[in-house]
Structure 1
Amino acid sequence: MKIEGEKIKRYALLLAAKDSDYVKKVYGGYFNVFVEAFGEEIGEKWDLFRVVDDEFPDMDELINYEGFVVSGSPFDAYGNEHWILKLCLLLQTLYFMQKKVLGICFGHQVLCRALGGKVGKANNGWDIGVRKLSIVKDFSTHSFLSDLEEIPPALSIIECHQDEVWEAPEGAEIVAISEKTNVEMFTMGDHILGIQGHPEYTKDILSNLIDRLLSNGSIESGFAEDAKSKLYKAEPDRKCLERICKRFLKRELEYINGKI
Structure 2
Amino acid sequence: MSSLPLRIAILECDTPLPETVAKYGSYGGVFASLLKAGADALSYPGLTSSSGLKLSNYDVVTAQAYPNLEDIDAVLLTGSRHNSFDNDPWIVKLVEFTEMLLKQRRVRIIGVCFGHQIVARAMGVTLGRNEKGWEASVHAVDLTKKGQEIFGQNSLALHQMHRDIAFEYPEGVEELAYTDKCSVQGMYIPKRLITVQGHPEFDEEIVRELLIARHKSGIFNDEVFGDAMERVDKYQDGVVVAKAFLKFLLE
The normalised TM-score by structure 1 is 0.85
Cα separation, 2, equivalents of 1:42 and 1:219: 41
Give the direction of change, closer, same or farther, for the CA distance of 1:129–1:140 in structure 2 (3 Å limit): closer
Cα separation, 2, equivalents of 1:205 and 1:231: 10
Cα separation, 1, equivalents of 2:54 and 2:208: 30
Q: Residue 165 of structure 1: CA displacement?
A: 1.0
2:147 and 2:175 in contact (8 A); partners too: no
Structure 1 residue 15 corresponds to structure 2 residue 12? yes
Gaps of 5+ in 2: 37-48
Structure 1 residue 74 corresponds to structure 2 residue 81? yes
Cα separation, 2, equivalents of 1:198 and 1:123: 21
One of 30, 34, 38 as aligned partner of 2:35:
38
1:118 and 1:169 in contact (8 A); partners too: no
Cα separation, 2, equivalents of 1:135 and 1:43: 29
1:158 and 1:198 in contact (8 A); partners too: yes
Q: Deviations over 1:155-212 (max 9, x none)?
A: 1110010101101211112111111110111113331111000011111111110011
Structure 1 residue 94 corresponds to structure 2 residue 91? no
- The equivalences for 1:131-146 within 5 A come to 131-139=139-147
Q: Residue 140 of structure 1: CA displacement?
A: 7.9
Instruction: Show the counterpart of 2:242.
Output: 242
Q: Residue 115 of structure 1: CA displacement?
A: 1.2
Percent identity over the alignment is 25
* SS in structure 1 of the partner of residue 205 of structure 2: helix
Cα separation, 1, equivalents of 2:87 and 2:29: 28
Instruction: Tell me which structure has the larger Cα radius of gyration.
Output: 1
Give the direction of change, closer, same or farther, for the CA distance of 1:19–1:238 in structure 2 (3 Å limit): closer
Q: Residue 216 of structure 1: CA displacement?
A: 1.6
Q: Residue 21 of structure 1: CA displacement?
A: 0.6
Cα separation, 2, equivalents of 1:115 and 1:192: 12
Q: Residue 129 of structure 1: CA displacement?
A: 1.5
Gaps of 5+ in 1: 1-5, 253-260
Give the direction of change, closer, same or farther, for the CA distance of 1:202–1:63 in structure 2 (3 Å limit): same
* SS in structure 2 of the partner of residue 13 of structure 1: strand
2:120 and 2:169 in contact (8 A); partners too: yes
1:129 and 1:158 in contact (8 A); partners too: yes
Give the direction of change, closer, same or farther, for the CA distance of 1:126–1:139 in structure 2 (3 Å limit): closer
Structure 1 residue 48 corresponds to structure 2 residue 57? yes
Cα separation, 2, equivalents of 1:17 and 1:115: 22
RMSD of aligned residue pairs (Cα, Å): 1.9
Q: Residue 89 of structure 1: CA displacement?
A: 0.9
- The equivalences for 1:55-70 within 5 A come to 55-58=64-67, 61-70=68-77
Aligned length: 236
Cα separation, 1, equivalents of 2:4 and 2:168: 39
* SS in structure 2 of the partner of residue 167 of structure 1: coil
Letter in 1 for 2:7: R
Give the direction of change, closer, same or farther, for the CA distance of 1:166–1:54 in structure 2 (3 Å limit): farther
Q: Residue 63 of structure 1: CA displacement?
A: 2.4
Give the direction of change, closer, same or farther, for the CA distance of 1:8–1:177 in structure 2 (3 Å limit): closer
Letter in 2 for 1:28: G
Give the direction of change, closer, same or farther, for the CA distance of 1:139–1:164 in structure 2 (3 Å limit): closer
Q: Residue 116 of structure 1: CA displacement?
A: 1.2
* SS in structure 1 of the partner of residue 208 of structure 2: helix
Instruction: Show the counterpart of 2:39.
Output: none
Instruction: Show the counterpart of 1:255.
Output: none
